[in-house]
Structure 1
Amino acid sequence: MKYLRYLVIVLAFLLILPQVVLGSAIEREYEQAREIGAIIGYNHGLVYDHIPTLNEVIAIYEMYFSNKDSVHRNYFIEGYYEGFEKTYKKSDSAPIAVEPVEYADVLGFTLGEIYGIRDCEDGKKYNPRSALPSDNTIIVNYKLGNLSYEDRISFLKTFKESFEKGYREGYIRVNFNSFKISYDGGLADGEYFGSLLGEMNGIKDFLNGLNNNYKRNMPSDKKIEADYSLDDVDKNYREGFISGFKEAYEESYNESYYNAKTEDNKKPYENGYANGKESGLEQGQFLATEDFSKNMENDWRRHYPSTSEIIRDYNLILQNTAYRNSFISGFIEGLYQGYNDEFERLYSQFVANKSVIETIPLSGGEIKSADGGFTLKVDKGTYYNPVTVKLEAQIDTPFNGLIKASEIYKVSIINKSGELDNEKHIELVFEYYGGNNGGIYKKIEDKWIYIPSIIEDGYIKAFVKPDSIKENGSTYGVFVDKNYEVLLDVRSHWAKDEIIAYQRRGIVSGYSDRTFRPDKEITWGEFLLILNRVYKWIDSSNPSIKDVMQYALDKGYIENTYSNIINAPITYREVESVMRKIFNSDSFQWYNVSAKMLYEKQYKCKSYYSKDNNMTRAEAIYMLYIINEWRY
């Protein structure tokens, strides 16, 4: 098998090699090519006595596809070899003990599925009989010449019946919605879904000791309309769907009940159904957890597997028809039950843990979320009267490429007097065991904004101003930013919190050597670029310095032209002048910033000696941080 693995590795490399950006539609087409390749390879592995060469697989590909690019072909080939390896009779192991007649239904079904997919994609009408290969083609392709006459006839009969079922499933699954246009289309769809449900219920009723009665669980017309979203489709399609569904349901129910009742089939049916249901339950629970975590609607049908997918995923080709069919029925029921039960459990758990409400007295206190993962602490004297605090768990929302590392909580504080001491801080504490690229973020409109965070053993915390918690509540969570890089020269700097905050918000960045050079004098060009990002002057992700300075010149924020000042350092006096023009007020005083800097950071800037001294990069960041943090 080394040769086969080598081919897969080479083909994987060929898929990576083309430097193309794929749109979602093209990506789906390529993945579908891989899937079809896997189906064909899986079937060929059952009957081939050698590993096909690359040229042989290309010839097989060209039987099914034309006018496709090389990437599409390579996806097919890679899928082919992956599928082939699963069933190929390796020379160093015992052969797969399945007679050709036994897997005729699988081969016919999967080939029909491929042709159904192909015809629907090519815009051809639904016509399984036209797509069915001739008897001679089937005999040659599946090497039936060595079978007895009776076995060959039996194989062909089973193959053709299964081919039509597979064709119907493949055709419908390519684009189910666009097929809802006619009575015939509805009839085909209804037959497909009715047959699946009838088979499942027939086997289940027999195994539960119930008598043969297809009407017992036959869904009503209204139930069919609701379950298969037929309210808004064409009337003719809806009528065809319901008619086809009920007729196929009855036929499939009776057939599966009878087959299960046959004494020779009883044990395989029992075992297959039980094993299938157990596997379906596990898969359903996993998919429900994934969907719930992504804030997706409760809908198990988005994960409805094709028959051939279940056969391949659980290698059911090794089992007889009775076991295989009952496994598939049990799997679908288990998937349905496991998904819905787990989704409801997660939702109930979410509701139970959703909110906690407590009153914090004048002396201060703390409140924990229902799940214990988040704590809010209020210092004494922060509020001048008792306040009511509500912590409410939130359903996940998009995270701007960040990795979620905690539950999300909305904090609401009801302060009747409206008065508070904003020199105090409220402490937010989350349970956390990650690295230093984690941080506490606040949701502002549709974006998550980093707030300065402190990581300790088992916790991460942040201090926020009381007035930063908005009247209608503020939402917080812990996220990991895998793109965050530590700036080596700010870790012990007096302005590290403000610099890191602006770095993680995408307002500033370091040099290529992973330094920020906080004590370096800031130039006019650098200062105006930061102002542009803070105040969003130009609606562009990466405007040039020249464009930003021209904007500032047009607004009257600066007086000198671009070329005269771009690389010149800016003084405290000049910064004060620019900020007054931006705020359209003379109330801005650099002295207030420098006094706060001295009081909070114990750092004395050079403006105390002369406002004509040059400002540093750290001082500019600190100033903009403290005068704009109220916005967050």
Structure 2
Amino acid sequence: MERNIRLISMITCLFYGLMLFPALFVNAANDNDAYKAGYSSGLWEGIDAAYSDLEDVKSKNYYKAMPKDADIIANYDLDKETSTYRINFVRGFKDGFREGYNTTYDNPKVEAKPTNYDEALGYQMGEVSGYNDYYAGKSNKWTNAVPSTTKLIEMFQLTNEPNAYKNSFVTNFKAKFQEGYETAYRKAKYEPFKAAIERGAADGAKFGEILGANWGRTDYYSSSINQWDRDLPSDDEIKSVFLLDNDLDDYSKAFLSAFKESYRIKYEEAYRTANVNYNLLVFEKGYSHGKNIGLVKGESLARIDLLMGKSNDENRHNFSDNNIINEYKLFNEYEKYREGFISGFREGTKTGYMAVYQSSNFENFMSKAETQVVSINGAQVLSRDNKMSLNIDKGIFYNDIAVSIDRLIGTNMNIKMPSKDRYVKSSELYNIRVASSYDGLNRDKPIKLSFDYYGPQSGGIYKYLNDNWYYLTSKIDANSITAFINPESITNSSGTYAVFIDTKAWNPDDLRGHWAKDEIVTYLRRGIAGAFEDNTFRPDIPITKAQLLSSMSKVFKWDIKSAEKEVAALQKVADYKDVEPYKELAAYCVKKDYLKVSPENTIRINSQVSYKEAEAMMKLAMGNKNFSWAGVAEKIMKNKDKRSASYDSMDEHITRAEAVYMLYYMTE
């Protein structure tokens, strides 16, 4: 059954794709029969692969999901065909696979379920006709509204269907049409009466309760006997106060009936409750009252002290006799009652405070640390308080490991918290460590880190590093926030993580749907990249030398002030006016050979950067002569499904988005 539903969903997705993206399916008709056959087969397999990746919560990557050429040839017995047929089939298969995968992955909510169209259409059209006939003042006669058999055959093109299906469709349609018509007609007719009665009863009960309770308490404290109808308003008074003569008669009658019933119930309840409360206060021992109230007070004070990080000391909350008398209005009580209350209150306060403080502190420490052995099959590891989790996929580690999650309690003087003027702490701090006696792990498979979260989109997961909190690329859903971390960063070492809300965070509108959005937002929130004055990022325009070197200086933590002595020499360049806003950065970069003074005595700091120039800068910055832009371009193609212009020429200009991705990929 699940396979059938999924098959129908795939078919629906094909139709959905044809309606929304007709251009995607044109190429299949532009080649020979082998290409068409391959395209059709690839399209289906691409759709199926997309559903598999969505079910396994994998990121979008058609390139990774696509079968290899050898597998395609084997699966479709292409070794029996001519080489020309085989080549064209494989080419068509890949095109179809890519289109089917991408279209399905981007529209996962397109879902189809088996539908009895004759019954569904009949019922819905009957409903519409029923409502229309009632409001048009016509009689309840569905036979006058239902389309004739001839009209139905014409309307739904049933001449192309087998006779058995056609006859069944017409019969079922008319039966459901009648049901929908009569249901809608009567609903339109009787619903207003039903609604008026229900609303009248609800409103009457509400006001009856209020007035009944008020008069019940008043009569008791006035020493009047329990007589609920003594001050009950007359029907005319109720109608006048609540303007019932202006409403429907059914509403008015229901209101009056419910008002009186609720008035009586609440009157008697309030009268008797007042009597009980009064006598309890008169006859109950003051000690018992004081102790019970003191217990509540002590528990409350303990919870406040725990929250504020204060020590276990109930003596800091001493109350004088006058404090207790004033707070609990004991002026007019019997002296013995007052003395007993004060004694009981003090005992209850100490007992309640100690019990809550000790039990809460114990529970707090019990939920502090969690250590779990994880096999090579992977597992989910939850923090002891169940508010944070690590999802370790199989294949990340090649041997069993021990995972430790330690919740940091209280104020840790070794950790500097971010500015409260900008950041709102939205989780506890957790220290995570993976212990492994072997070095083997897959550095290309990240660990999923999730926190419970219900805040705004400006929230993010941060890592504490070098006395600073660094934003990690974070995804927010209905009840959690998630980031992916490099397993190597916490293997045989530890990392501290927490969630903060950045009150000044923002995402430029022109990043919506962009392939490098996550990396760009991360660098914006870290202050590494910057936006333009109109609050756009313009990811696809070429980056300038000033912009790229500024970001590199923050990523690689250049000490640009060390080149202060070289600043004066820059004043001799012909384009110093352009250089001046970046003079310290420019001086450092000239000194380190990232920038060169041209034979024309210019630096051209605002000029666009070619891929070749960016590659040279990164080799110097990383101290790695083997760095190659081609490796980054390959990752962009594989991970982001984006082809770089560098494939055409390394003299083309690197975009702002590509530059951010390069720095992020090479340093994270």
Give the TM-score normalised by the residue count of structure 2: 0.47
Give the TM-score normalised by the residue count of structure 1: 0.50
Larger Cα-atom Rg: 2
